[in-house]
Structure 1
């Protein structure tokens, strides 16, 4: 069976969407702290052991896991490839491995004054790119009696918190107001970016165990909460970028990376446009904004809080309508949606989802898939990952393997995706439940 991955509290409803967005501390790239470098973590008495420690709260071989298995350790080396150098040349850059445009995501590219004595830019996306500059906590965090809360207070980034983790990952896997894989960069040859927090977290080579000690220090992760809050943060970040002054869209063409790639990137003989009840203002030939994450989130919200889902769906319609001829309304609406989704993400991250709710979420996603509501690959991609995540959480992914395989096969790739075929497979899986 070919799968993308394999792993084996309730918030009061009236308050669920009134909760303010939890403000995470600054991202590691902007934390103002000294980044000491991977070498400061790699000794045998720290995180560089050959094998896992049996008598410690952490493995102590995290450096070796990162070095041998984690593609983040190879991010800088990617810039040395022929493909990367060709992209740099098309962008008018002397070299990919010396350009901030590339280093900002392919390395821990903090300013020179924040680089410690053992810092090396060619370490790529190292420990401190995710856990924050260790200058203030490098020594203290290894002392007996130091708690996880103590480490966070000293400046360690809280990657165990779903919203904070999503914000961190999305800062490269989607972008920020300071760095973005723009349409120009993709036109030069950079691959299209895609991200889903739970799947990427699971596929990330683990350098910790969710054991009794982990749960005591950080709480037990909830797979479904990580998925749905991450999805909300994905959409919130996308619309925040759309509304930002960094990409005002006042040129002849706006920043096209915010639009649906596959609305244009398909053969002219492959007629894709169809009437969409969720965005009736869009006539044939329109370039549609990339609403993939939110399109998949809406069925989940329809299960969790139907009245809120209807409100956000209406805002999405207004956003698409404004994209046709009202730039200022577009920015205002995008900003409003981003704020609403940020609150959604914060609330859902603390929620726990029992089996009954998980089944309802999966059924709603399959019903939306079967109704052909995910006409673009970016949305169908997110929907499949969500359906798989929920099946794994429910413990029936093995018994549903034929249906999941068929759905994955129908998804195919962005160049071969046929919405009608995906809808048929989703309908068949829905009937098998």
Structure 2
């Protein structure tokens, strides 16, 4: 009888350890996903708060908002990857779908604002270029004033603004060929940008009241309930195990006395195994930024860390997205030059924006040169692409080194 009771005791202990181990692993996975959703909600809420400012302030915060949306996208990818590797988690596909729609609408809003800022810079540059020709310079001043009116006046003044633009177009037809082409090109760009900007407030209202906020709150509640069920299930398994041991002790007393020391030793082993399993489930994390040692780096990691409050993990996520989305961009631009120059120009524009977000000023400047050359003199593009490839390859290599060094620190 003693041998049978001992075998049942070991079997019961093994089952308890297996159940607690599975519960601890599931609890850790669920908790990590919940924290990722919490970070996603915090990032979206931070972006949402910037949208409540008046239009002039929002326009000048476009670069910061672009960096925020990159971080939100990286968190969304992280949640999706972790979810695919986990079991018994609540369905988050609706959250991922809603987040994707939020990112798309935000990107449309940001593109409108960034196009507006580029337009303002272009008008200023053209005005400076023609400052020696007062009549032409005055036309660009009128364009600047009308763009400003369109941005910050009420809708009632829109007809007068567009009549004024028509008048400027009429005057442009009397200018010499080069001046006429420059002015009419700017007029066409103004029409396109103001058309998109007019939708800005509508998109902002949709983003502020977007379903993603309610969806994140719902998911956080579901994950909290699931974590609570894990705790209660662990208590239930431990209680049933204790009942089983008491039953074994009761039936074993008919033949062999089980001393209190034996029972205490068994319980101590259970507690040590449980504590050991918990410690293995939560390895220490070391957050210590390690920057790549390069002579003249492309990426300004210090600037990125400052903009993200020294959050190395967020910087690493942005760098992973950069490597994944922009590796081979120069080859893609080269292949698109003949078949689709507009798409090649958009690729260069996107790479320019990413360079600004990473603090890679040389990469941003090189991508800007390629973008302008595609529009104005496509024959100069091949030489510029060589420079862009060097810049991009250096930036990608620095990003990989940064990720590798930080992975060593964490391990």
- Give the TM-score, by structure 2 length: 0.26
Give the number of the structure whose residues are more often helix, by fraction. 2
Larger radius of gyration: 2
- Give the TM-score, by structure 1 length: 0.25
Bigger relative CO (Cα 8 Å, ≥ 6 apart):
2
